[in-house]
Amino acid sequence: MSARWLALAVYGMAISSAAQTAATVQMDFSNPALNPAHWVLTLTPDGTGHFRSERGNAPVDPAQGIEPAAVDREIRVNPAFAAHIFDMARHQKLFEGNCESHMKVAFQGWKKLSYQGPDGSGSCTFNYSKDKEVQGMGESLVAVAAGILEGARLESLLQHDRLGLDKETEYLEEAAKDGRVQQVLTIREILERVADDEGVMERVRKRARELLARAQ
């Protein structure tokens, strides 16, 4: 291959890679009865992304303890998880069409799945979808968001109520095991801070280390 053709091939691969990276899958979730009432999770094919949450007007629940602050930060999930999400988005034809079941089921929150990329764009909104792939994707992304919000709660507890970390890390460990929380990788930093803090109970530090092992 001549130098000219080699340069063109390399350039073409670079353009293709850039186009792939430019694609995003986003979930926009809203449920006024919850806190936070609204959040947006955006992922790119390499696993990087962004998460933003807004509290809403739901009354404060004293039983929940300290409320976590609103979140607005960059995140990272496992690249294999991100690749699976993008594969499903393309299998669903970029979410073009109606994915709401219109069945009489309990309100779980409106979930708007969107795809935007060089190969097209589309979106659909649902409370509950009869399409198992769409419903499953929604549940997985809600579980990723749940982990990020748990991380925000841990940050608040570490600063204001270290004894509260005992109950919270116990819940987080159980939720990570049964799938209510996914992609613990997103909160690696706060788990490392808890695990390394000698002012925190040893059983809490142990749970943080075990959760970090899941984030590998």
pLDDT digits (tens, 9 = 90+) for 111-159: 999 999 999 999 999 999 999 999 999 999 999 999 999 999 999 999 9
Give me the pLDDT at residue 22, please. 87
Average pLDDT on 69-82 reads: 95
The per-residue pLDDT for 89 is 97
**Which tens digits make up the pLDDT trace of 149-169?**
999 999 999 999 999 999 999
Confidence grade of residue 13 (pLDDT, cut at 50, 70, 90):
very low
Q: How far apart are CA 86 and CA 103, in angstroms?
A: 27
* 165 vs 204: CA distance, rounded Å: 7
- Average confidence (pLDDT) over 11-24: 55
Which pTM value belongs to this model?
0.88
- Confidence at 15, pLDDT banded by 50, 70, 90: very low
Predicted pLDDT of residue 54: 95
Say what the pLDDT of residue 63 is.
67
Residue bearing tokens 């890390």: 169
Short-list 38, 44, 49, CA closest to 149: 38
Task: Measure Cα distances from 174 to 95, 138, 157, 164 in Å.
Answer: 32, 21, 18, 16
Q: Report residue 67's pLDDT band, with 50, 70 and 90 as the boundaries.
A: confident
Q: How far apart are CA 175 and CA 171, in angstroms?
A: 6
SS3 20: helix
Contact 191, 212 (CB under 8 A): yes
118 secondary structure, DSSP code: T
